[in-house]
Structure 1
């Protein structure tokens, strides 16, 4: 009991840090807009007569852009002010969302939206390493697990509230306005980020080198736990949200209603809140192999429920499991990277993570949309359940092979 109280007290400690609270509010604002957009964007495409294949291409553009941005993001985070970079990327993403609203309202070719979301993805790729480095600069190392947990909790709390309330209202009224709200919240996030102190950055005018960019790869290769974490991330991160975001909206809308997709997003947010808290209390970053196995089992169950469930509660439960998987793994994995990586190379390690996972995302986005259109969206979710279950077996075998090196090194 005392141990649980100690873990909860860690939340109080990180929330007492004023700059961290400002970062938390800024991220919460942008996430609130994202939550509404994720509920509204696929419905906007459906009402425009655009199928899952087109939506998959758009989401793939985000993934490609994220990879491009990650190439520079890691070095920018370690060499420049992560605060300034975040201000620029939040502003750019806000402008991009406003441009998408204009494209949808004028009936522009969907290829222009692919270009817009490519730019949006570049902003994501650059910002991720900077956000991680900024968090490390604002909090002591022992508080990072609580800091990551608080970040994920706030992200997912707004993911509960907004899709199920304002998100459903916007879907019923005009989905395009959900994208507009997302753009405006990015501007608000940039304002809050501007209030943070300039701490821990290392300004350098030296030219970027390929050798320096590869330092993150070297750090990962030399740490067996990070290698195993990356392998698990490829399964959990690549199979989790991309397929859920591209295939599930069409499967749920066809089987139930468009509004049900908003409720499913809210359910995934609730599951994510639960997952982030449990991971903090259980110190999941210290038990990465077990965390990966548990998340994988939940993922297989989630996709099976979303693909085969004939009742509304089954779809909502499946979406809840997706949220548990996403937040649990992201909280544990982010903390593991922050604590196991040298501080001077953290941005590059996060960039490697972003580059590898986001590099796979475009293929999943496009492939799942096309496959779902061919074999059926519900059938595609069921197939994902089978694949993820098989991937869990691979993770267990890998853990058995690498466990001596993980625990001895």
Structure 2
């Protein structure tokens, strides 16, 4: 497969939303994310049809294990071989695996085993795909545009969340899980030629032969030392971890239990989630258009703190209309803080380490944070929604406190 590499100076530093290279990346990323949403719906539906709800839950959770265990290695691969090659290869494997299961389901009714195998393969490839996705923007645009790219990435995620589930449902309605898997595979396939056409900047050392590079284990240790010794990245990743741990439980399991407790029903949950999506989408649009904010470290810390207060307030609103309004505020504040966290992570990391830094951040968000969901559910069963939402908000707020207390992170600025 041929590649198009250019010198870092040749990468455009013009507005990212007008750069054809960035727009090709955005199209590839959006298609892949929509495909992911369709895939997860198809997997869950097919597993429920083939087994019990408990077995379906196990199938859905299978992918989380290799993703969490192997993501550090995925970051090393992204930095050693270049994120573009890794993203193209992993997207191709994901596409092939999903289409293979679609074909199998069209031909026969094989039961749960191919679904579990697909989830395992998908999770393993995700461990490589996600760090590479995080490392790619720095090679396709100028440093001054990385903040805007984070906003564009946020918009793509919101779009995929809104469009993916209805598309998956339509596929299932028209042709069952096999059709939905086929649609997911085709959407992921759309991203491959767009990624192949990207112009990427080479970094110093990219032209070295594999035999001249340090071992993968040395790369991993070097990356962890780099993070540990960095005055901005180390506290930033801890702040991200605290924010995710305090946010994921209440806004997933906790919200459903709150709606059941208050009698809001499934439609109430939908309105609250819609409010959150509107707020988060607005924040992403603001960052994409504006390209950054002054005093980024301080603004990030303040929005984390304000967002944590809004999360705690969700448990005490009188009705679903007020809950949806608070959810808009939660989405706006957490969307801004999340975009600024991602932008600081991108701009403060040496591009040669972005794969490894992205992998550590990904483990925090995708490996540790989901563990808060069963803990939140058990705690709500024991003490009720109010206390659990408040404690979760306090954990989230600790990230903002940390950002304010660490001088280098508090004073961190984004490039103009």
Superposed pair shares fold, TM > 0.5: yes
**CA distances 1:267-312 after superposition (whole Å, capped 9, x unpaired):** 443322112234464835843354244235435534753x677855
| Counterpart for residue 188 of structure 1 | 190
Are the structure 2 counterparts of residues 351 and 248 from structure 1 closer, same or farther at C-alpha, using a change threshold of 3 Å? same
1:204-243 pair list within 5 angstroms: 204-206=209-211, 208-241=215-248
CA contact (8 A) 1:96 1:117 kept: no
Is 1:19 aligned to residue 27 of structure 2? Answer: no
Are the structure 2 counterparts of residues 260 and 398 from structure 1 closer, same or farther at C-alpha, using a change threshold of 3 Å? closer
Q: Select which of 350, 375, 395 maps to 1:391.
A: 395
Is 1:287 aligned to residue 287 of structure 2? Answer: no
Is 1:375 aligned to residue 381 of structure 2? Answer: yes
| Counterpart for residue 73 of structure 1 | 74
CA contact (8 A) 1:145 1:332 kept: yes
**CA distances 1:384-404 after superposition (whole Å, capped 9, x unpaired):** 522222224533543454237
CA contact (8 A) 1:270 1:320 kept: yes
1:44-193 pair list within 5 angstroms: 50=53, 55=57, 57-58=58-59, 60-98=61-99, 106=109, 108-109=111-112, 113-163=115-165, 166=167, 176=177, 178=180, 180-193=182-195
* C-alpha separation in 2, matches of 1:226 and 1:97: 36
* C-alpha separation in 2, matches of 1:100 and 1:308: 45
* C-alpha separation in 1, matches of 2:141 and 2:32: 21
* Cα distance, 1:145 vs structure 2: 0.8
Are the structure 2 counterparts of residues 144 and 405 from structure 1 closer, same or farther at C-alpha, using a change threshold of 3 Å? closer
Is 1:337 aligned to residue 345 of structure 2? Answer: yes
* Cα distance, 1:180 vs structure 2: 4.7
* C-alpha separation in 2, matches of 1:247 and 1:44: 26
TM-score, with normalisation over the residues of structure 2?
0.75
* Cα distance, 1:86 vs structure 2: 0.8
| Counterpart for residue 307 of structure 2 | 298
TM-score, with normalisation over the residues of structure 1?
0.76
* Cα distance, 1:234 vs structure 2: 0.7
Give the number of aligned pairs.
391
User: Which entry has the higher C-alpha Rg, 1 or 2?
Assistant: 2
Are the structure 2 counterparts of residues 209 and 154 from structure 1 closer, same or farther at C-alpha, using a change threshold of 3 Å? closer
Are the structure 2 counterparts of residues 285 and 153 from structure 1 closer, same or farther at C-alpha, using a change threshold of 3 Å? farther
Are the structure 2 counterparts of residues 246 and 193 from structure 1 closer, same or farther at C-alpha, using a change threshold of 3 Å? farther
* Cα distance, 1:265 vs structure 2: 5.3
CA contact (8 A) 2:254 2:376 kept: yes
CA contact (8 A) 2:301 2:403 kept: no
* C-alpha separation in 1, matches of 2:294 and 2:117: 37
CA contact (8 A) 1:216 1:348 kept: yes
Which residues of structure 2 form unaligned runs of 5+?
1-11
Which residues of structure 1 form unaligned runs of 5+?
1-9
Structure 1 vs Structure 2 CA RMSD: 4.3
Are the structure 2 counterparts of residues 258 and 90 from structure 1 closer, same or farther at C-alpha, using a change threshold of 3 Å? farther
Are the structure 2 counterparts of residues 40 and 274 from structure 1 closer, same or farther at C-alpha, using a change threshold of 3 Å? farther
The SS at the match of 1:224 is coil
* C-alpha separation in 1, matches of 2:159 and 2:332: 12
* C-alpha separation in 1, matches of 2:240 and 2:364: 9
**CA distances 1:202-250 after superposition (whole Å, capped 9, x unpaired):** 2541363323212222222223322221122112234434664556568
CA contact (8 A) 2:91 2:192 kept: yes
